[in-house]
Structure 1
Amino acid sequence: MARVGDWIRRFLDKPGSVDLTPYQRVVAEAGRLEDEVARRDELVPASVPPEWVGSAEFCAVVREAARRALGQRPFDVQLVGVLGLLDGTVVQMATGEGKTLVGAMAAAGFALRGARVHAVSVNDYLARRDAEWMGPLYETLGLTAGWIAELSTPEERREAYAKDITYAAVSELGFDVLRDRMRVDAAELVVPPPDVALVDEADSVLVDEARVPLVLAGAADPGVALPEMAALVRRLSKGYHYTIDEEGRSVFLTPKGTDTVEKALGVLLYEHPGIVTQVNLALHAQALLIRDVDYIVRDGRVHLINTSRGRVAMLQRWPDGLQAAVEAKERLPASETGEILDSLTIQSLIRRYPRVCGMTGTAVAVADQLREFYDLRVAVIPPNRPCARADEPDRVYPTAEAKRQALLEEISAQHATGRPILVGTLDIAESEQLDEALRARGLRPVVLNAKNDAEEAAIIARAGERGVITVSTQMAGRGTDIRLGGGVPEQEAEVAALGGLYIIGTGRHESSRLDDQLRGRAGRQGDPGGSVFLVSGEDPLLTAYAPEEALPPAGAGGLVRDPRAAELIAHAQRVAEGVNLEIHRNTWRYTRLIERQRTELLERRDRILRGDAGAEALRAACPERDRELRAAFGDEKVDRAARQIVLFHIDRCWTEHLGFLADLREGIHLRALGRLNPLDEFNREAVPAYRDMLDEIERRSKESFEKADLTRDLDDQGLKRPTATWTYLVQDNPFGSDWDRILKRVAGALKRGRSGRIGGR
């Protein structure tokens, strides 16, 4: 019957529908070759035909290579996963099933075909760990591997990119691409042409962070810290001076608030739009951004929190105005600011690669998005051993306080048995409050949150030891196995007898996938384990996405036992997922046009960087000046100057064009009031603006060439590039653009319209 179900799923092309049967046949044949391959001295043939990779012999070879190099014999299901990756799918494998080894064997396969492989990770730690861990495997197969980190020098980066397989955090790959786009000498380029991207934690990289722009900025005038505005808004009261919308994403001055601000500043706000912007930024920072939830303050700096990972986003910042407002709120000096020279979303970065594959523990939930945005299918790989984890239904409480008390009692009761506990909280503030409450009861939890993420791998590795209570924000420690008893055999058996690792979620996330990731930390490789989520009617998920729906009344023991409670929670989660998906789609609709323009311009730039296209264009445009300069300075010097001139104006005009598009998009939603489609209006203005930019590049280049004095440095003749550049990730408008907020309001209206049939299809 299961086979019939699989066939129907494949026929309908549903998530998880990739047929594993051909892979399983190949792996079975590889098993019959295992003994023969084990007797070989040389594993890889001297000449590797492309079709050899993915064959039964290839599977037998990489299995034997892993056994020799790492002391690990890959399971059949791991080899099935390797074949899925080589076919360009996203493979879903449960926690503890050995995805790191699967990715390495697939990377080796691509490299043996002659491809250049970039193993994309979520952070520097995992990139280095996996490259070094899997290094012996690659050496056994005659391949090389390197890794890149934030502090890697340009020489180290070039060396790593020259290897067959390069491990790097997705942000570092993107920053290298951005820096290369500003090079004026082809010899200084760092990143080779893209070929294969093998993405670890594919759901996090390809979906959760798809819209995150990576930014290359150039030094500009220092930003304004707005300390006076921060001091002013601290005196304003919620509900009297300002109001916050029901989703907590927008804040508005009331008439009384406007009067108060105008009196304090001695101006009429409507006459000073710049001051209005400063007041709004300060108010956003004060009212909507919460310390230890949205950001932390460490070492005298503001650090943003990556909400999908529960970690400090070390390279991330808000747009400069808001960043300065938060720094002023916290009474900190303003950090460096500058204009954006170029940017690149993570989605656009990955789409540069002709071949993309990936692996994660939770792909089916985002299969539609993987197909829509990357044309990727999902292959669900069965576990080597059946999952023995016991997942309890949610425990639902009417109030947050009732949930908090129940949480403390549950932790205390489970800890009394010696069972290890991993508590997943929704934010840092909650993790620290829970730590304090548990310590008041005489318990000693280990807190793993964005404030101590440098030690997260060591902490999470010990979470399966007897009697350990680990409190973690979301998926901190992702990528590290939790072994029962810390991997010590006698302790492992003891903890297994207690029921294994127990997962407690302190609330449901906006995405069910994040809940599944937390739950999946228990029950690795058939280990026993358990999980439960505690939810209250006052949780943000319900108040934001089902505000007009009330939980059924609580029964005995303070629990809400009515099945409608579970339906309400699931409904709120579906609404949240739908809204976030629509914002993703909306962002991509705008980004797609910009990417097309960027790609076309970069092709022109590359021709100029690598050849004499710039000199030829200026010779045709300014023949007399060209002859004059060549007679005086020679061809080589004129060609070099022409290249520098054209490249400067390409980069300068593109920076200005990006600024224009950002301003255009920010206000384009207003066209909807006139019954116009904002996206159509954006395209209608962006396309001619791009053509105008190309004309402007030509005009400025000709003007600079006519005036150029080649006896002097061109930097002193209006062609000076930024004295410093730096990279960061920007949380692109954390409250959403006004158009995004309109989408949310529409979704809210639809949600209210469907409220009579919660839980229905």
Structure 2
Amino acid sequence: MLGIGSLARKVFGTPNDRKVKSARSLVERINALEPEFQALSDEGIKQKTEEFKARVAGGESLDALLPEAFANCREAARRALGLRAFDVQLVAGVFLHQGNIAEMKTGEGKTLMATLPVYLNALAGKGVHVVTVNDYLAKRDAEWMSKVYSALGMTTGVVYPYQPDAEKRAAYRADITYATNNELGFDYLRDNMKTSVEEMSQRGHFYAIVDEVDSILVDEARTPLIISGPSQDRSDLYKTLNAFIPELTEEHYKLDEKARNATFTEEGNEYLEQRLHAAGVLPEGQTLYDPESTSIVHHVTQALRAHKLFLKDQHYIVRDGEVMLIDEFTGRMMRGRRLSDGLHQAIEAKEDVKIQPENVTLASVTFQNYFRLYDKLAGMTGTAATEAEEFMEIYKLGVVEIPTNRPVQRVDEHDAVYRTAREKYEAIVKAIHEAHAKGQPMLVGTTSIEKSEMLAAMLAKEGVPHNVLNARQHEQEAKIVADAGKFGAVTIATNMAGRGTDIQLGGNVEMKVMEALAADPAAHPDELRNRIEAEHAEEKQKVLEAGGLFVLASERHESRRIDNQLRGRSGRQGDPGRSSFFLSLEDDLMRIFGSERLEKVLSSLGMKEGEAIVHPWVNKSLERAQAKVEGRNFDIRKQLLKFDDVMNDQRKAIFAQRREIMEAEDLSEIVRDMRHQLIDDLVHEHMPPRSYADQWNTEGLAAAARDKLALEMPIAEWAAEEGVDQDEIRARMERETDAFMADKAERFGPESMRNIEKQILLQTIDAKWREHLVTLEHLRSVVGFRGYAQRDPLSEYKTEGFTLFESLLESLRAEVTQKLGQIRPLTQEEQDTLMKQYLAQNPPKKPAAEEPPAEAAAPEALAAPAPAEALPGFDEADPLTWGNPSRNDPCPCGSGQKFKHCHGKLA
């Protein structure tokens, strides 16, 4: 009998079905337009783009343009790639344009589908970002889909790490830009550390489509992006502490594998104190409980975590003498990413490789807050439904499940649970043997490099040919995945999230053609393709008869989505397939979260060696455990976001202020207001309101003016005059400083002075913001303890964070005013000395004309203009013969750059 919910769904359909049905009318309109767009010439398709752009500029909405734009894009893709978007792809495109996540099964053509909403939104001329999980996919998709955009008359750019600045700026100015989430986030931070608007790369955040949206916005959301700079080298300390850890026994510490945390017991603390005293790390008479020992306790705890909770070939690998982190969700190396708070250094000490110095944060942002900058956000993935609540709560993104183009024929078997890991792996090898014997291709999923290599060794012993895909084989990834669907192929993979290359039954035709052409460049491409396609059709038929791709997972991941991604590799586009999970009670998920009752059930059944329990109840209890873990991880991310939101409001205020300063031509009014505000504060401090003249601290005010304003003022004399009050003294101080700064501006020259003000403002903001970030990090680490005093840590963090931000702004005013007061033009003698030193270190050279201008450095000491008249005998190698070139003139040294970017730049 059907339940009430099931009955209602049968009659009315699910909410998802109703959403999908609502888009059908738009699809019918797009299909009705198809003959009209098929009749257009190639030039006619491009002209349509210009017409659409003009209509958008004239006020027509993108929604109104959708049917025509989608029809134009579909036709361009059919001509450029030979691929015509299915109706379900049009449906998905509609939901992406509306700012939703489209959940589409693997192999349903997400890459092609994304061109439809991308093209429509690019018509607004504000730039569209397509976000991928790795650089390989960003470059591949940009190259592949640029054929479609080019046919539509649109430009495509791709952003990648270590890209030259000029190329990066051009990529962001293209109509459509492909990039990884990491590079987008880092470019946002880098842009807000630049000193002029022209140097900034990004031009705004209008619309983004995030591929593998669950991986980027959920899995990676716990880790903030940080741009950091090195601090002091403490490698000796890490090495010393590292030597103690192997001596510890289990009674010395406790591990929390769920939270990946480690703490010392009382016995552990006592033992450590003795060892640390003996090694001279902990001073005599000082204990680990003393406040002065906080730093040592922190680092020794990190050393313990490095040894007991971070495992080689699972959480990281060592390559070329460097510790490389492995992304637990995609199985890839995260080049350039490092663990913070000294943990990475502790792992380097453990592995006996060169210890890189710890870093201090210069700028940071979480993916959650970066992607919420976009006016409109959308995403696509094969697995999002399990995290629908998080997507809606954090990003206001709805999840729509898109039906497959053809019905799914894959058979998903119930999990098989074995008692021990040994029995499980023996059963896996037996299952691989059986499938391989009949030629059925197999994809075997593992959760770590170590396990994938152990399984590979077992297969080698049995004589089963196979490929291994993990972080060590990163470079051969596309080739291994392309071959995974061949007859009899066995592929062991650590993870399949965001692999980007479909596993096609019989192998990947395009890859085979490329390989054949590389092996025989003289061969005729068409003949070669025809021969390979005929061979492929024959092999595909054999694979179909063998049952399609068999996905066998050796463990369940703590996230259901990761399991679904692996399972989804089989049964693409209506192909037959099979999936099965082999588990044991010794697996991490079963051990940490699984039910002990299951072990009792297995024991009471009197199972024999090598037998497994297979039952729907087992699947349900495992899914409940996974849902519990997902819920806990969501809470962690939500809490992280609440704390980061406090910093985010401040970050946005600082970044907006920086941009305003960079865009402003004249900052004299801002710096004057800062100066006046500082004078107001000084007068208020030394001559409080409603105080008598004999209570005024005139000497203190005069000293403060000397220090902060770089001016000697007769404060005591003014105060002794009849009828002079605080307001009058404030007004006189303002007049004195205004005249002082006006005279300074005249001696520097108005343009130079404006430039100095801009540079000093930006420099001071950046320095203060860096200090503020460190303070907030420290506040964050201690505020948690206030929960013991029945005070809400988040409220405390907000209140104190705001107070710290206010004091940042106050100290900013004082520092900017002080620096501007102290700066002075150099004498001719000082200029000559500096110029000689500069030329000795930087001999004049003539770089290529296209070399980007050097970044303006800070104006701590200013090289003022050379003498007004050119000296006789001009020599481009001798700046003393150059006269007084204007800042925007070409530099006399012949570099091809403007004078202000070359020898006239601020030293």
Same fold, TM-score > 0.5, yes or no: yes
> 2:286 matched to 1:235?
no
What CA deviation, in whole Å up to 9, does each residue of 1:352-376 have, x standing for no partner? 1111111111121111111111111
Q: Indicate the residue corresponding to 1:747 in structure 2.
A: none
What are the within-5 Å matches in structure 2 for residues 689-700 of structure 1? Answer: 689-700=804-815
How many Å apart are 1:694 and its aligned residue?
A: 1.0
Q: Matches of residues 79-228 of structure 1 in structure 2 within 5 Å?
A: 79-224=90-235, 226-228=238-240
Amino acid at match of 1:176: D
- Mapped to 2, the partners of 1:547 and 1:494 lie a distance apart of 42
Match of 2:9 among 5, 8, 14: 5
* TM-score of the two chains, using structure 2 as the length reference: 0.76
Aligned residue runs from structure 1 range 243-254, under 5 A: 243-245=254-256, 247=258, 249-254=260-265
Alignment of 1:105-504 (within 5 A): 105-224=116-235, 226-237=238-249, 239-245=250-256, 247=258, 249-266=260-277, 267=282, 268-271=287-290, 272-475=293-496, 478-487=499-508, 488-504=536-552
Work out whether residues 760 and 859 of structure 2, in 8 Å CA contact, stay in contact via their aligned partners in 1: no
| Rounded Cα–Cα distance in structure 2 between residues aligned with 1:608 and 1:29 | 49
**Which of 661, 669, 673 is the aligned partner of 2:784?**
669
- Residue 320 of structure 1 deviates from its aligned partner by 4.7
Partner residue in 2 for 1:596: 649
* Higher relative contact order (Cα pairs below 8 Å, separated by 6+ residues): 1
Output aligned runs, 1:630-709, within 5 Å: 630-709=745-824
- The structural deviation recorded for 1:199 is 0.9
Counterpart amino acid of residue 560 in structure 2: S
Whole-Å separation in 1 of the counterparts to 2:779 and 2:298: 17
2:566 is aligned, of 518, 522, 531, to: 518
Q: Are residues 248 and 637 of structure 1, via their aligned partners in 2, closer, same or farther at CA, if it must alter by over 3 Å?
A: closer
Match of 2:732 in 1: none
| Aligned positions, number | 714
In 2, the alpha carbon distance for the partners of 1:479 and 1:520 equals 13
User: For residue 684 of structure 2, what is the aligned residue in structure 1?
Assistant: none
Q: Which residue of 1 aligns with 2:521?
A: none
SS at match of 1:339: strand
C-alpha spacing 1:718/1:632, structure 2 compared with 1 (3 Å): closer
Shift of 1:526: 0.4
Runs of 4+, deviation exceeding 6 Å: 1-4
CA 100–4 in structure 1, closer or farther in 2 if over 3 Å, else same? farther
SS in 2 for 1:533: strand
- Contact 1:196 / 1:353 at 8 angstroms: preserved in 2? yes
Go from structure 1 to structure 2 and tell me whether the alpha carbon gap of 1:230 and 1:509 turns closer, same or farther (over 3 Å shift). same
Kept in 1, the 8 Å contact 2:133–2:498? The answer is: no
Return the offset for 1:127: 0.6
Residues 18 and 230 of structure 1, relative CA distance in 2, 3 Å threshold:
farther
What's the offset of the Cα at 1:2?
Answer: 10
Partner of 1:757 in structure 2?
A: none
The answer (yes or no) to whether the contact 1:203–1:363 under 8 Å persists in 2 is yes
Counterpart selection for 1:527 from 568, 575, 583: 575
Counterpart for residue 588 of structure 2: 540
For structure 2, the 5+ residue unaligned runs are 509-535, 676-736, 835-856, 863-907
Deviation at residue 219 of structure 1 after TM alignment = 3.9
Match of 1:732 in 2: none
Task: Judge conservation of contact 1:522–1:529 (CA < 8 Å) in 2.
Answer: yes
Distance 1:387 1:562 in 2: 23
The Cα shift of 1:18 comes to: 6.8
Change in CA separation of 1:691 and 1:526 when aligned onto 2, cut-off 3 Å: same
Structure 1 residue 334: Cα displacement: 1.2
Pairing 1:722-733 to 2, within 5 Å after superposition: none
- Residue type of the alignment partner of 2:447: L
Percent identity of equivalent pairs: 37
User: Offset at 1:633?
Assistant: 0.8
Residue 265 of structure 1: how far off its partner (Å): 2.4
Bigger radius of gyration: 2
Secondary structure at the counterpart of residue 535 of structure 1: strand
Corresponding residue for 1:30?
30
1:612·1:643 contact (CA, 8 Å) conserved in 2? no
SS in 1 for 2:177: strand
Residue 497 of structure 2 contacts residue 565 of structure 2 at CA under 8 Å; is this kept in 1? no
Name the CA distance, whole Å, in 2 between partners of 1:109 and 1:91: 17
Residues 203 and 523 of structure 1, relative CA distance in 2, 3 Å threshold: same
Taking a change above 3 Å as real, the CA distance of residues 246 and 219 of structure 1, as seen in their structure-2 partners, is: closer
2-side partners of 1:243 and 1:363: how far apart? 36
Give yes or no for contact 1:456–1:476 (8 Å, CA) kept in 2: no
Contact 2:226 2:364 in 1 (8 A): yes
> What is the CA distance between 1:377 and its match in structure 2?
1.0
Q: How does the TM-score come out when normalised to structure 1?
A: 0.90
Partner of 1:748: none
User: Partner of 2:263: helix, strand, or coil?
Assistant: strand
Task: Give the counterpart letter for 1:281 in structure 2.
Answer: Q
- Alignment-mate amino acid for residue 135 of structure 2: D
Instruction: Give the conservation status (yes or no) of the 8 Å contact 2:760–2:858.
Output: no
Partner of 2:734: none
- Contact 1:615 / 1:643 at 8 angstroms: preserved in 2? no
Shift of residue 613 of structure 1?
Answer: 6.3
Aligned AA for 2:27?
V
Pair 1:608–1:56, CA change in 2 (3 A)? closer
Is the contact made by 1:420 and 1:469 (CA closer than 8 Å) also made in structure 2? yes
**Is the aligned partner of 1:47 residue 2:51?**
yes
In structure 2, do the counterparts of structure 1 residues 299 and 18 end up closer, same or farther at CA, with 3 Å as the change threshold?
Answer: farther
Code of the aligned partner of 1:559: A
Q: Hey, what does 2:511 align to over in structure 1?
A: none
Gaps of 5+ in 1: 720-761
- Structure 2 CA distance for partners of 1:385 and 1:264, relative to 1, 3 Å: same
Question: Does the 8 Å CA contact 2:763/2:858 hold for their aligned counterparts?
Answer: no
Stretch moving more, 539-548 or 275-284: 539-548
- Give the direction of change, closer, same or farther, for the CA distance of 1:562–1:530 in structure 2 (3 Å limit): closer
Counterpart of 2:872 in structure 1 is none
Q: Name the aligned partner's letter for residue 586 of structure 1.
A: Q
> Who is 1:509 aligned against?
557
| 1:233-278: CA deviation from partner (whole Å, max 9, x where unpaired) | 12223x1332323636222223333333222222443343332222
**Is structure 2 residue 71 aligned with structure 1 residue 60?**
yes
- CA displacement 1:45-84 (0-9 Å, x = unmatched): 2421344765433332222111111111111111111111
Deviation, structure 1 residue 210: 1.7
* Comparing 202-211 and 24-33, the one that deviates more: 24-33
Q: Residue 557 of structure 2 aligns to a residue in which SS?
A: coil
Distance 1:325 1:710 in 2: 49
Please state whether the residue corresponding to 2:235 is helix, strand or coil.
coil
Distance in 2 (CA, whole Å) between partners of 1:223 and 1:234 is 21
Query: Residue type of the partner of 1:316?
Result: R
Give the aligned partner of residue 759 of structure 1.
none
How far does residue 626 in structure 1 lie from its aligned partner after superposition?
1.8
CA contact (8 A) 1:198 1:356 kept: yes
Letter in 2 for 1:516: N
CA distance in 1 between partners of 2:13 and 2:812 (Å):
53
Whole-angstrom distance in 2 between the partners of 1:246 and 1:342: 30
CA distance in 2, matches of 1:365, 1:304: 27
Kindly report the root-mean-square deviation, in angstroms, between the aligned alpha carbons of the 2 structures.
Answer: 2.3
Q: Distance in 2 between matches of 1:294 and 1:661?
A: 28
Q: CA deviation at 1:34?
A: 2.1
